[in-house]
């Protein structure tokens, strides 16, 4: 399974659409371990682009700090699960915490 985490300067970006890169992490869900990590530059912030782009990358789950409701709907259309309000800054730790049902989340910080 492939997870995506938006990052700036190596840490989880609080604003999904304005990140510099995406950490793409291939995970063995049963063993709860990361098999591969790849850092890809964001293709940019254009309405509707990122959900399709991440779907094309094989992403199944996005872990984000904040994300607008339109983007969330587009991810749902692309059969990508979205986890909002993540508080863990390290992308790998965020994914591992999620796999172990330990990811701390707060309210979505995006209001659009």
Residues 6+ away with beta carbon under 8 Å from 69: 112
Residue 59 inside a domain? The answer is: yes
What is the CATH number for 48? 3.30.420.130
CB 20 within 8 A of CB 46: no
Return the number of other C-beta atoms located less than 10 Å from residue 31's C-beta.
9
Residue 34 domain flag: yes
Range of the domain at 47: 2-99
User: Is 86 domain-assigned?
Assistant: yes
The model's pTM: 0.91
The answer as to whether 57 is a domain residue is yes
Tell me if 31 is assigned to some domain.
yes
Ordered per-residue pLDDT tens for the chain, 112 residues: 999 999 999 999 988 888 999 999 999 999 999 999 999 999 987 877 899 999 999 999 999 998 888 889 999 999 999 999 998 999 999 999 999 999 988 766 565 4
Residue 104 domain-assigned? Answer: no
Contacts of 37 (CB under 8 A, 6+ apart): 23, 24, 25, 26, 91, 92
Q: How many domains does the chain have?
A: 1
């Amino acid at each position: 399974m492939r997870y995506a985490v938006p990052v700036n300067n190596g840490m989880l970006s609080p604003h999904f659409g304005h990140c510099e890169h995406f950490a793409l992490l291939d995970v063995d869900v049963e063993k709860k371990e990361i098999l591969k990590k790849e850092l890809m530059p964001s293709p940019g912030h254009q309405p509707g682009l990122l959900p399709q782009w991440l779907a094309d990358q094989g992403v199944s789950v996005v872990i984000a700090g904040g994300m607008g409701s339109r983007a969330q709907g587009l991810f749902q259309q692309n059969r990508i699960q979205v986890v909002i309000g993540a508080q863990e800054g390290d992308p790998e730790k965020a994914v591992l915490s999620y796999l172990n049902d330990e990811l701390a989340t707060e309210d979505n910080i995006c209001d659009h």
